[in-house]
């Protein structure tokens, strides 16, 4: 029997890409999809090793992975905290999850994820970086699409990266919308898409979007990413460029994403802090 990857699937395209890439490397994939977050289509990727779990069912998750003799675990895709803040009844905390939370002083996103990873690893389930099988999707530095940028756009991208990194040190968001030197929107609990839309409401067309990892980003958790849906939203909102921190963000469905950006005249640029 070959190696088996355990995948905790949240929302977005990342769980699909991880599954495809891992299978391309010869691994089997046991998928635990988070109810209310993961795309139901994820179930169509299963070869039998699949279950739906609710947020907080930590013991059930561990039992599932052990049943399928998982060698390593990847957490891929977002699990939005805002639903739990709005309606605590969506949580289904088992005794193990309750004990874990009771021990935490810091209950920010990263702290919670590290604690969950610690529980899995205490059971012999190694949690690895979500980019392990996606090296070819990591953003390279430089212009990926579009024509050479106007200096004012380059300045907005550089500002967005500095702001995103600064806010990230406080575990706040990963995306910033900037226009003509003004920060229009910063991502918080609402997510990137809502921040992009808010930027359009406040500043109209012609802004840029920047996504960056947190300074202490643990690449096992929630690596910033864009995909075709991001490009479509950027088109609808009149964004002219998307800046991505090089080496620490992902371009999912890469060929299609960059093709659509090129078709709509949206520049996609890999950024390094201090270089713009």
97: left (phi over 0), alpha (psi -120 to 50) or beta: alpha
Quote the CA–CA distance of 15 and 61 in Å, as a whole number: 16
Per the CB < 8 A criterion, the answer to whether 207 and 239 are in contact is: yes
Q: What is the pLDDT of residue 107?
A: 64
Number of domains in the chain: 2
- Verify that 215 and 188 share a domain, yes or no: yes
- Verify that 160 and 111 share a domain, yes or no: no
Q: What angle do CA 85, 223, 212 make, to 5 degrees?
A: 95
Q: What is the pLDDT of residue 85?
A: 46
Name the token pair of 71.
């060698």
Q: What is the pLDDT of residue 18?
A: 95
Q: Read off the CATH number of the domain in which 12 is found.
A: 3.40.50.20
* Cα four-point dihedral sign 45, 93, 174, 203: positive
- Verify that 9 and 114 share a domain, yes or no: yes
- Is residue 35 included in any domain, yes or no? yes
- Verify that 112 and 181 share a domain, yes or no: no
Q: What is the mean pLDDT of the chain?
A: 90
- Verify that 158 and 218 share a domain, yes or no: yes
- Verify that 167 and 94 share a domain, yes or no: no
Name the token pair of 64.
């599932």
Burial class, 233, CB count within 10 angstroms (exposed 0-12 / middle 13-18 / buried 19+)? middle
Below-50 pLDDT ranges, the chain = 85, 276
Q: What is the pLDDT of residue 108?
A: 67
- Verify that 216 and 117 share a domain, yes or no: no
Per the CB < 8 A criterion, the answer to whether 65 and 9 are in contact is: no
Q: What is the pLDDT of residue 82?
A: 55
- Is residue 246 included in any domain, yes or no? yes
Per the CB < 8 A criterion, the answer to whether 8 and 127 are in contact is: no
Q: What is the pLDDT of residue 88?
A: 54
- Verify that 69 and 104 share a domain, yes or no: yes
- Is residue 276 included in any domain, yes or no? no
- Is residue 149 included in any domain, yes or no? yes
Among the three residues 107, 127, 147, which one is the final residue of a domain in this structure?
127
Among the three residues 103, 127, 151, which one is the final residue of a domain in this structure?
127
- Verify that 39 and 114 share a domain, yes or no: yes
Name the token pair of 29.
């994939």
Name the token pair of 152.
């004012």
Q: What b/e readout covers 84-112, taking b as 16+ CB neighbours within 10 angstroms?
A: eeeeeebeebeebbeebeeeeeeeebbeb
The rounded radius of gyration (Å) of the Cα atoms in the chain is 19
Residues 6+ apart with CB under 8 A from 267: 143, 145, 146, 147, 149, 153, 240, 241, 242, 261
- Is residue 170 included in any domain, yes or no? yes
Helix (H) / strand (E) element for 53: namely strand 50-53
Q: Which residue range is the domain that position 262 belongs to?
A: 136-271
Q: What is the pLDDT of residue 80?
A: 67
- Verify that 208 and 151 share a domain, yes or no: yes
Among the three residues 92, 127, 162, which one is the final residue of a domain in this structure?
127
Quote the CA–CA distance of 223 and 240 in Å, as a whole number: 23
Q: Read off the CATH number of the domain in which 244 is found.
A: 3.40.140.80
């Amino acid at each position: 029997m070959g190696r088996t990857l355990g995948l905790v699937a949240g929302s977005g395209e990342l769980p699909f890409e991880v599954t495809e890439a891992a299978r391309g490397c010869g691994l089997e994939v046991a998928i635990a999809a988070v109810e209310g977050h993961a795309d139901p289509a994820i179930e169509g990727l299963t070869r039998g090793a699949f279950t739906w779990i609710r947020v907080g069912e930590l013991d059930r998750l561990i039992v599932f992975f052990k049943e399928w003799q998982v060698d390593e675990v990847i957490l891929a895709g977002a699990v939005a905290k805002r639903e739990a803040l709005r309606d605590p009844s969506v949580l289904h905390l088992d005794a193990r999850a309750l004990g874990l939370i009771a021990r935490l002083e810091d209950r920010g996103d990263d702290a919670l994820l590290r604690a969950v990873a610690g529980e899995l690893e205490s059971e012999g389930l190694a949690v690895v970086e979500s980019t392990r099988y996606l090296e070819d999707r990591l953003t390279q530095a430089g212009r990926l699409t579009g024509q050479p940028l106007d200096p004012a756009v380059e300045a907005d991208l550089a500002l967005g990266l500095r702001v995103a990194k600064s806010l990230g040190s406080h575990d706040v968001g990963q995306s910033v919308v900037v226009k003509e030197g003004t920060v229009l929107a910063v991502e918080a609990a609402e997510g990137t898409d809502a921040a992009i839309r808010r930027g359009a409401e406040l500043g109209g067309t012609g802004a840029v979007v920047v996504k960056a990892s947190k300074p202490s980003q643990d690449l096992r958790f929630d690596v910033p990413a864009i995909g075709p849906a991001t490009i479509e939203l950027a088109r609808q909102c009149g964004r002219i460029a998307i800046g991505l921190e090089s080496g620490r963000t992902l371009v999912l469905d890469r060929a299609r994403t960059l093709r659509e950006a090129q078709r709509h005249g949206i520049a996609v640029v890999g950024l390094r802090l201090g270089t713009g």
